[in-house]
Amino acid sequence: MGNSRCNVGLLCSCLMMVGLVLSGCADRAPKTDIGRETATASSDSESSKPLRVVATYSILGDWVRRIGGENIELTVLVGPEGDAHTYEPTPQDSVALAKADVVFENGLGFEVWLDRLYEASESKGKRIVVTDSIKPRQVVISESQTETDPHVWHLPANAILMANSIASAFETADPSRSSQYRSREQSYVKELNELDAWITKQINSIPNDRRKLVTTHDTFGYLADKYGLEVLSVLGSVSSDSSDPSAGQIAEIINRIRASKVPAIFAENILNPKLTNQVAQEAGVKIVPTLYTDALGPKGSPGEDYLSMMRFNITTMVEALR
Ligand SMILES: [Zn+2]
């Protein structure tokens, strides 16, 4: 191969005899040569190279892994138990972004740190906002203030739309494997539809007047809207970034919890339960096992992937509220 590459180069230089053109020709010659000699092997190794992919948080990372399978090399920035609202990026995140072909993000104001990090990393990776086809809910914070609710993942119907967005992005970035991405998407969507049917049945088993979810921050809005649950949160915000409520605000929350006869208060895996514990204690309400809210649990836990996290959350809610 070395010889034939050299010959092509020589032939080239004889024909052209102009330095500038020669360098262009010499640049092309070895590639042509390799292409000729090892066409099949070369295109195989090129197409078997995994796509380098970044997903911003663990739940999204799970979907990306399910659909990308062995065709991708995935880095998740905010891992299990991590809080993406308040995340502080690391230098390794910047390295992962710089190498990425595709970057998946939730959007809707969830990853407030991403724009700056992406820019600083000089990444050329294609950014895909997986929530683009979802109509976001707006949360009224005060008379003059609303917030966009980023917690779309608590509804399997939304997960299906995001799985579709992920598969489409892979199809565009790596068209030769389109059928593999689409077939993984289809089998995952089937599981998501089964999950949806199961959730409907479970939540319907909670009496109407007990469908009340109290958590630390407003993370279950999409689920609540669909199933007629009433939600109340200690922080009163869709972001866990808001400062701790004042003594007066806590007193008001406790009054509302007592008045609405909430049977239980739920802690969240991404947040320190201290404040929620205090509210539960003062309101005289039991605090129940921690729910997986904005992140998966560690490997081996009941929240290690999206499907098991959802089943665990719903089972826990049903047992505490029924
Ligand atoms: Zn959140």
Confidence of residue 124 (pLDDT cuts 50, 70, 90): very high
Confidence of residue 47 (pLDDT cuts 50, 70, 90): low
For ligand 1, the distance from its centroid to the CA atom of residue 237, given in whole angstroms, is: 9
145, 216 contact by CB (below 8 A): no
For ligand 1, the distance from its centroid to the CA atom of residue 7, given in whole angstroms, is: 63
For ligand 1, the distance from its centroid to the CA atom of residue 258, given in whole angstroms, is: 25
Q: Which helix (H) or strand (E) holds 267?
A: strand 264-268
Structural domains of the chain sorted by starting position, each given as residue range(s) with its CATH number in brackets: 2-47 (no CATH), 51-195 (3.40.50.1980), 206-321 (3.40.50.1980)
Amino acid at 182: R
Token pair of 52 as six digits: 């380098």
Q: Which residue has the higher pLDDT, 280 or 289?
A: 280
Nearest to residue 66, comparing CAs of 173, 172, 170? 170
The pLDDT of residue 23 is 39
pTM of the model: 0.84
Quick check: 3 pLDDT over 60? no
Confidence of residue 236 (pLDDT cuts 50, 70, 90): confident
189, 260 contact by CB (below 8 A): no
For ligand 1, the distance from its centroid to the CA atom of residue 4, given in whole angstroms, is: 61
Q: Which residue has the higher pLDDT, 4 or 66?
A: 66
Among the listed ranges 210-219, 233-242, 303-312, which one has the minimum average pLDDT value?
Answer: 233-242
Please tell me the distance from the alpha carbon of residue 10 to that of residue 16, in angstroms, as a whole number: 10
For ligand 1, the distance from its centroid to the CA atom of residue 239, given in whole angstroms, is: 5
What is the secondary structure of 217-261 as a DSSP string?
SS--HHHHHHHT-EEEESS-SS-TTSPPPPHHHHHHHHHHHHHTT
Please tell me the distance from the alpha carbon of residue 84 to that of residue 81, in angstroms, as a whole number: 10
pLDDT tens profile 177-190: 999 999 999 999 99
CA 190 to chain centre: 19
